[in-house]
Structure 1
Amino acid sequence: NPNLTLEREDFSLAWPPRRQHPWRGEPAIIDIPYGLPHMGAEPLVLAPGEEFQGSFPIPVGVRGMLTGISILIGNYGGASNGTLVLRLSNDDGHSTQVHVPLSDSQDNAMLPITFTQGEIPLLRQDRLFFQLRLVNATHPVAFWAYSLNEHFGHRIPGHKDLALRIELHVTESSHESLTIPRP
């Protein structure tokens, strides 16, 4: 049932809902597998002027248009500044690049990144490829990463078995309806 959670086995309601409300035009929020939160996380620090890249798996059955993502960051108690540049692409050649100012970001919270142009269709891809870069900053930003394995890890050089905490924002596509896997 798409109204129930995939995170627990107690048949409870999903929060946030896994089902889109077509009358609202809101995207469905879909978690990328990142392991068990109680296992602890380690920060991957991105210093000013540096970048890292990797890829993450798309949950099986997710279809539609990717209109944004959210990613868990640590901004050193509000000291992180500058602009985070995200480049995201699929293996069909669709890509987008977004510049997100960190001045209003919250420490240890999800940073919402909405694509103003260049939505990415999710049709038959297994993974999305990303590049994160920090520009015009005087302080670093941290991305919380959880230990998984190389298959589900985000293939970040030097940290291939770690997974970032990412949520996909997916809307229905006019070509193919959004499908969310059922438990």
Structure 2
Amino acid sequence: NPNLTLEREDFSLAWPPRGQHPWRQEPAIIDVPYGVPHLKPEPLVLAPGGEFQGRFPIPVGVRGMLTGMSILIGNYAGASNGTLVLRLTDDGGHSTRIHVPLTNSQDNTLLPMTVSQGDIPLQGQDRLFFQLRLDGATHPLALWAYPLDKRWGHQIPGHEDRALRIQLHVMESSS
């Protein structure tokens, strides 16, 4: 039931609501499993010109068109610059690239990233492959990673038992 949360096992109502209102044309915001929020995350440092990759799970039952995502970032020394480049690919060959300037990014907040080209229809895939790169920057960027077991981790080489804090923006299909 899209009115219930995926975060807890008590069948409570989801907040914010997961179901989309048919009269609204806005994407649903869906959390990707990232572990226990009260556990201390560690920063994964993305150096200027650096990149890393992995695969994150998609919650069961998510269907629709991926219109963007948000990722929890941290700025070093109160500043970040350059462009964060994200490439997402599914096992069916669909892919998209997202470019986000970091000039006005805020420390320890979810950075919204909107798809501008390429489509990824979510149709029951288990995971999405991601590649993050920091271009044109003079300061590193921190991506907060929470402890999780390897099965649910985001398969980042060297950090297989960690999960990034990610929210998917999905325009749910009407069927």
Query: Retained in 1: the 8 A contact 2:97–2:116?
Result: no
Opposite residue 137 of structure 1, the aligned amino acid is: A
Query: Retained in 2: the 8 A contact 1:3–1:17?
Result: yes
Equivalent position of 1:131 in the other structure? 131
Opposite residue 94 of structure 1, the aligned amino acid is: H
Report the more deviating stretch, 3-12 or 135-144. 3-12
Matched, 1:65 2:65: yes
User: How far did residue 76 of structure 1 move?
Assistant: 2.3
Equivalent position of 2:119 in the other structure? 119
Task: Show structure 2 runs of 5+ residues with no match.
Answer: none
Report the more deviating stretch, 73-82 or 90-99. 73-82
Task: Name the CA distance, whole Å, in 2 between partners of 1:119 and 1:173.
Answer: 14
Query: Share of identical aligned residues, percent?
Result: 77
Equivalent position of 2:93 in the other structure? 93
Task: Name the CA distance, whole Å, in 1 between partners of 2:88 and 2:22.
Answer: 26
User: How far did residue 77 of structure 1 move?
Assistant: 5.2
Equivalent position of 1:7 in the other structure? 7
Equivalent position of 2:32 in the other structure? 32
Task: Name the CA distance, whole Å, in 2 between partners of 1:67 and 1:45.
Answer: 26
Task: Name the CA distance, whole Å, in 1 between partners of 2:94 and 2:6.
Answer: 29
Query: Retained in 1: the 8 A contact 2:73–2:109?
Result: yes
Task: Name the CA distance, whole Å, in 2 between partners of 1:83 and 1:55.
Answer: 21
TM-score, normalised relative to structure 2: 0.94
Report the more deviating stretch, 92-101 or 2-11. 2-11
Task: Name the CA distance, whole Å, in 2 between partners of 1:166 and 1:115.
Answer: 15
Equivalent position of 1:148 in the other structure? 148
Task: Name the CA distance, whole Å, in 2 between partners of 1:62 and 1:4.
Answer: 13
Matched, 1:106 2:106: yes
Count residues with an aligned counterpart.
175
Opposite residue 52 of structure 2, the aligned amino acid is: F
Runs of 4+ in 1 over 3 A off after TM superposition: 8-13
**Can you list the C-alpha shifts for 1:108-160, whole angstroms capped at 9, x where unaligned?**
00000010121211113111000000010000000000111111100001001
User: How far did residue 167 of structure 1 move?
Assistant: 0.5
Equivalent position of 1:167 in the other structure? 167
Equivalent position of 2:53 in the other structure? 53
Task: Name the CA distance, whole Å, in 2 between partners of 1:119 and 1:75.
Answer: 29
